[in-house]
């Protein structure tokens, strides 16, 4: 079996890289609408922190709209901008 990552137990193996790789794959599945935004928000924040990016980059436009509409926990400085919502 051929793998791109170093074998577990070798000096080149870094478990943080394995976790980050798995998290990136999970976030990709979220982009394909296979889970709810609630399930991915914490993961997206963790990956964004590891990558030095904003949480918003790992969420869909629909996710961002839902976060804004339902006034979910969001920090624009940490997570990135949310779309403007209309007020009734």
pLDDT for the residue 24: 86
8 in any annotated domain: no
Q: What is the pLDDT of residue 2?
A: 38
pTM of the model: 0.63
Residue 5: its pLDDT value, please?
A: 58
How many domains is the chain built from?
A: 1
Is the residue at 30 inside a domain? yes
C-alpha–C-alpha distance, residues 1 and 75, integer Å: 43
pLDDT band at 67 (very low <50, low <70, confident <90, very high): very high
What Å distances lie between residue 17 and 23, 24, 54, 85, CA to CA?
10, 10, 19, 37
**Residue 58 maps to a domain:** yes
pLDDT at 74: 94
Q: Across residues 12-39, what is the average pLDDT?
A: 78
Give the chain's mean pLDDT: 80
């Amino acid at each position: 079996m051929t793998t791109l990552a170093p074998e577990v137990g070798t000096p080149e193996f870094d478990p943080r890289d394995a976790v980050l790789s798995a998290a990136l794959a999970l976030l990709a599945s979220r982009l394909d609408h296979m889970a709810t935004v609630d399930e991915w928000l914490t993961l997206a924040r963790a990956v964004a922190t590891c990558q030095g990016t904003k949480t918003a980059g790992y969420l869909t436009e629909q996710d961002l709209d839902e976060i804004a509409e339902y006034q979910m926990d969001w920090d624009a400085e940490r997570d990135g901008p949310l779309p403007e919502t209309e007020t009734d």
